[in-house]
Amino acid sequence: MPEKVNADQGLDKKMNKSLSSNSKVKHFNKKESLFHNYEDFEETPTSAAVITVLGYAILTALGWLRDFLRNIGFEEKKTANDPNPKDFVPLYQSYECFYTRNLYTRIRDVFNQPIASVAGAKVEVMERLSDDFNWTFKFSGKKLPSINLGSYNYLGFAENQGPCSEQAIKSIEKYGVTTSSTRHELGNQQYMKELECLMAEYLSMEDCIAFGMGFATNALNIPILVGKGDLILSDRLNHTSLILGARLSGAAVHTFDHNDIQDLESKLRDAIIHGQPRTCRPWKKILIIVEGVYSMEGSLCKLSEIIELKKKYKAYLYVDEAHSIGAIGPRGRGVVDYWKVNANDIDIHMGTFTKSFGSAGGYLAGKKTLIDHIRVYSHSACYSSSMSAPIVQQIISALNIIMGRDGTNDGQKRIQQLACNVRYFRRQLVDMGFIVYGNDNSPVVPVMIFMPAKIAAVNREMLKRGCAVVTVGFPATALTESRVRFCISAGHTKEMLDHALKSMDEVGQLVSLRYSKQNRHRRWHELNHADYDKEYLS
């Protein structure tokens, strides 16, 4: 049964929990036996943490040594030079670029890897070679066909053939590529209205407004919803766009521990009881900002409990469903669908079209009064060019497919395929002994690798075996929590997933990635494949 929130407990508990020491949370909803919601963040093994910190310490010490050698002229300075005279104030402080010069450049080849094809289930990565340890790159001309486990292509709409791209091409012929005008002037095209109506229907909301960039949707619209005298309670692991929007709004921002309902409640109570700092005036309004699926952790927000809190304390709720819309829930309607809550309990729905719809842009949905306010005051609507026709058409086509309006059940098949793929992939990784963070149902699968050198090793070895993966370290994650983050797609076939798992098994053996203390360490051939296959095909 889900934990009941106790108000007094919330007041007394002031534990500062880090993510990795968070204990296991098991929710088995007895109402639906098919609905399995399990989230786990296994603790970092002490030995791994110690060696990771030691690793960074050695790299830092080496970095100081190399900087010293560069300063005395013993070693060549490979960074570009300021074309301005020497008496200008330096553009970058030396310590700001320390990380870039000495840590990032060593493994620069695993980031920003260019591709030369559609970012679908399979992708062609352009091979880059470097003679001088990643300071400069040359393209060899070779294209490496790889399984794409890095792009956000949850429902597999990143295709260059099929009904979506055909309709996008027709829209280019009808409307051109842009309008060169804003929504307030001559950029208000019929296709924008069509998209907004369709999206509002999809989310079961009164109205919706769409923008050309997901990042800008957060950063430029949060300032018009809250301002000075308001309070924002933001999850500690929220995306940069939400943090920027909160900062630009001028409202006070307090963070609560990731997915920690008790911490959120205690902060809500404190805010209402004590009011604004120094003046003690009551807050004008309180906005809680959370994400549907957190892209670095793979965790889902505890939506039902947050809604309970929000109603109890009369706060407003903003949910950023960038990664969850289309990818989570039995009908692909996001976390609202997953937790079976009333969509109207969330005041502002936000999401992006980049991930599950294979397009670009973002949206905000809610009551008509809210959306009217945004239409009038949004920075994007007043100053940015309106969305491009083929981009909008791709979203409309994808939505029609997902909602089954095209006459096929392709949409529902994609959603089920994704759910199948996710379960299949995760189960086997966990059973092999890797530490996998996050919710069992999230299409984002982070596998912990901890040490800085392994970030590069895993990426390079997986690419050699034909799998393009994304590895992230500091500063995108905490210092000791580097990970390889798989993004599963409905476009992945069972063979592709098997190949990826086999590669991960080999790389895991080569680089020693099996850290789990809860599960046995097993090689891929030791797993009972018949079980997984049976579940996959059901």
Partner 1 sequence: MTRGDIESLATDFYDLLESFKHAPVYHLSFEIFLVLAVSWLVFFRKPRPIEKKLTEKEKQELIDEWQPEPLVPSVDPNHPALNVRVLDGIVGKTVEIDGRTSLNFATFNFLNFVGKQRIADKAIQAVQKYGVGSCGPRGFYGTIDIHLELEERLARFFNCEEGIIYSYGFSTIASIIPAYSKRNDILFVDEGVHYAIQKGVEASRSHVKWFRHNDIADLERLLAEQEILDKKNPKKARSIRRFLIIEGLYVNYGDICPLQRMVELKYKYKYRIFLDESVSFGTIGQTGRGVTEYYNIDRQKIDLISSTLEYAVGSIGGFAVGSSFVVDHQRLSAQGYCFSASLPPLLAAAAIEALNIMEEDNTTLFETIMDKSKRLHKKILSIKGYIVNGDEISPLKHLRLTNALNTIGRLEEIVQFAQTRDITITVARYLSDEHRLPEPSIRLILNVEMNDEELEFLCTVLQEALVKVTT
Q: How far apart are CA 223 and CA 251, in angstroms?
A: 8
Site for partner 1 in 235-274 (CB under 8 A): 239-241, 244, 247-248, 269, 272-273
Per CB under 8 A, 98 contacts partner 1:
no
Q: How far apart are CA 80 and CA 87, in angstroms?
A: 17
Q: Which listed residue (383, 517, 533, 534) binds partner 1 by CB under 8 A?
A: 383
**Are the beta carbons of 473 and 155 closer than 8 angstroms?**
no
Strand partners, 486: 445
Per CB under 8 A, 95 contacts partner 1:
no
**Are the beta carbons of 451 and 51 closer than 8 angstroms?**
yes
Within 10 Å of residue 525's Cβ, how many Cβ atoms?
8
Site for partner 1 in 191-220 (CB under 8 A): 191, 193, 212-216, 219-220
Q: Which residue carries 């996008």 as its tokens? A: 168
Judged by beta carbon, residue 373 or residue 523, the one nearer partner 1 is: 373
Per CB under 8 A, 400 contacts partner 1:
no
**Are the beta carbons of 154 and 359 closer than 8 angstroms?**
no
Q: How far apart are CA 505 and CA 503, in angstroms?
A: 5
Smallest CA-to-CA distance from 75 within 88, 64, 87, 60 is with 64
Per CB under 8 A, 112 contacts partner 1:
yes
Stretch that binds partner 1, among 255-263, 279-287, 336-344, 443-451 (CB under 8 A): 279-287
Site for partner 1 in 143-202 (CB under 8 A): 148, 150-153, 157-161, 164-165, 168-169, 172-191, 193
Per CB under 8 A, 360 contacts partner 1:
yes
Which is it for strands 470-472 and 252-256: parallel, antiparallel or unpaired?
unpaired
Q: Which listed residue (306, 391, 415, 448) binds partner 1 by CB under 8 A?
A: 391
Q: To 5 degrees, how large is the angle CA 431–CA 433–CA 435?
A: 105
Site for partner 1 in 288-327 (CB under 8 A): 313-316
Judged by beta carbon, residue 420 or residue 472, the one nearer partner 1 is: 472
Stretch that binds partner 1, among 300-308, 348-356, 505-513, 528-536 (CB under 8 A): 348-356
Enclosing H/E stretch for 498 = helix 494-511
Shortest CB 99 distance to partner 1, Å: 9
Judged by beta carbon, residue 23 or residue 81, the one nearer partner 1 is: 81
Per CB under 8 A, 113 contacts partner 1:
yes
Judged by beta carbon, residue 103 or residue 436, the one nearer partner 1 is: 103
Shortest CB 275 distance to partner 1, Å: 9
Site for partner 1 in 451-480 (CB under 8 A): 468, 470
Six-digit token pair at 362? 């973002």
Within 10 Å of residue 398's Cβ, how many Cβ atoms?
23
